[in-house]
Structure 1
Amino acid sequence: PQVSTDSWSLRIHGMVDQEITLTWDDLLRRTPVERLVTLACVSNPINGDLIGNARWLGYRLDELLAEARPHPDADMVLSHSEDGWTAGSPLSVLTDGRDALLAIGMNGEPLPVRHGYPARLVVPGLYGYVSATKWVTELEVTRFDRATAYWTRRGWSAQGPIKTGTRIDTPRGRGRIPQGRTVIAGVAWAQHRGVTGVEVQVDNGDWRPARLSTEVTVDTWRQWTYDWEATPGQHTLRARTTDTTGQPQTAVEQDVVPDGATGYPTLTIQVN
């Protein structure tokens, strides 16, 4: 969609005491915040690349919703896109103090059109299909037993919290590397819970702790590295993340449908 700021508006309505319509000029009279947030797609396979981190500029959704005064029995916000797409987000997640945003900027620039210009939703901890509405024009306060979003009607779970996970970025899978010291590295995430540890396993050996980068926020991924003395032959590398609850990501393999893939990222490496 090609949406002009001259014609754009955001309507907050439904199960609220006070319906609100905000124009672009209304937004510009407010004070925005800038936050680093990692977003993930529910279709991201194990060790996939459908996850990324960006610096978002926008306005807190909890403050906007508070002005409309949602009814006590409401539990969902159905966000509508200019093109008719919808996403159903738990009202409790949008109002629990996390940096859920109506975003208008990305990495120091206005939102690119493909990322939802002029405004979109960014919600830490939820997969995009239940939160990341681009070209957003409406926030309808409702209930999960009264409204069904686009992907929920197509068999996906109604609520999509992002699962704890990790990715091995180097060395590359099915590659060839020389023997000797090799750095295994990647990123790990547990949005809005935070990552406390990453472990690496070579073949079927013991799990060994990796080094973690400094945590920026609980809503962003963390980089990790592990030094490995690679010996000749074929080897299998695995990694797993533990979040602040003390629970490591599950080894049970599950496809992306209906609420995100699970399992350990696994690479096969040939050492010469």
Structure 2
Amino acid sequence: AELLEVAGVHAGADAVLQTSDDGWTCGTPLSALTDERDAMLAVAMNGKPLPIEHGFPVRTVVPGLYGYVSACKWVVDLKVTRFADIEAYWTEQGWSELGPVKIASRIDVADGTRIAGVAWAQHTGIDAVEISIDGSDWMPTRLARVPTVDTWVQWALAVGLEPGDHEVAVRATDTNGVVQTGEEQDPVPDGATGWHTVSFTAAEQEDED
């Protein structure tokens, strides 16, 4: 936001066209670069110069947007413009212009004693994560603390399942009360939707001596 303020933005502009050293382009919504989120031009990572594979000497990071409209590595040019006047690499392939990250959740661990994973609702934050086992009512899980609303949230629930085959689904709710939809949608044109579902086999628990 500070860089754009210094450069000046003409009335009617709604996009910033980013160009990489290899010619790749992406169009980023101007609003996402001028609101209160921590959009940045990154030159370092973990206290060290940005590695080449991550975009040295400079790359953009814009929380809340999918990478295809925001994560330009090896930046050589930024142009304040209008979406109506540009076409970037992925929008030319039929993807949407804005690319906001949708609320989502994922199962990473599923066994007879524990179900766990991560959830995210960048620029909004996660309020709750629930799971349903074998078609049961939704059950709340425990959430780990996170430093910002842009951080992925770890969640977990201890369970005691009978040995055999099971299926678990997960859904998240953001801090605005929006519940993750179960309607399945392909990634194109603006991100996949649906509940992540995992089938697994619970082993018989050994008795403790």
TM-score range, shorter chain: over 0.9
1:88 aligns with 2:19: no
Q: What is the 5 A alignment of 1:129-208?
A: 129-171=68-110, 177=111, 179=112, 182-208=113-139
Q: Percent identity?
A: 57
1:242 aligns with 2:173: yes
CA deviation after TM superposition for structure 1 residue 257, in Å: 1.0
Q: Structure 1 counterpart of 2:200, which letter?
A: I
SS at match of 1:191: coil
Structure 1 segments (4+ residues) deviating >6 Å: none
TM-score (norm 1): 0.73
**Over residues 139-178 of structure 1, what are the superposed CA-to-partner deviations in whole Å (9 max), with x where a residue is unaligned?**
100001111111101111111000000111112xxxxx5x
Q: With CA pairs under 8 Å and 6+ residues apart, which has the higher RCO, 1 or 2?
A: 1
Residues in 2 aligned to 1:121 and 1:219: alpha-carbon distance in whole angstroms: 16
Relative to its length, the structure with more strand (as a share) is 1
TM-score (norm 2): 0.94
CA deviation after TM superposition for structure 1 residue 107, in Å: 2.4
Q: What is the 5 A alignment of 1:218-257?
A: 218-257=149-188
Q: Structure 2 counterpart of 1:146, which letter?
A: D
Q: Residue 271 of structure 1: which of 194, 202, 206 is its match?
A: 202
Residues in 2 aligned to 1:266 and 1:219: alpha-carbon distance in whole angstroms: 24
Q: Residue 36 of structure 2: which of 97, 104, 109 is its match?
A: 97
Q: What is the 5 A alignment of 1:15-54?
A: none
**Over residues 178-200 of structure 1, what are the superposed CA-to-partner deviations in whole Å (9 max), with x where a residue is unaligned?**
x5xx1211111000000001001
Q: Structure 1 counterpart of 2:160, which letter?
A: E
Residues in 1 aligned to 2:168 and 2:114: alpha-carbon distance in whole angstroms: 12
Residues in 2 aligned to 1:160 and 1:270: alpha-carbon distance in whole angstroms: 37
Residues in 2 aligned to 1:267 and 1:209: alpha-carbon distance in whole angstroms: 17
Give the equivalent residue in structure 2 for 1:213: 144
For this pair of structures, how many residues does the alignment match?
203
Give the equivalent residue in structure 1 for 2:207: none
CA RMSD for the aligned pairs? 1.0
Unaligned runs of 5+ in 1: 1-61, 172-176
Unaligned runs of 5+ in 2: 204-209
Give the equivalent residue in structure 1 for 2:193: 262
Residues in 2 aligned to 1:215 and 1:206: alpha-carbon distance in whole angstroms: 27
**Over residues 42-88 of structure 1, what are the superposed CA-to-partner deviations in whole Å (9 max), with x where a residue is unaligned?**
xxxxxxxxxxxxxxxxxxxx011110110121000001111111111
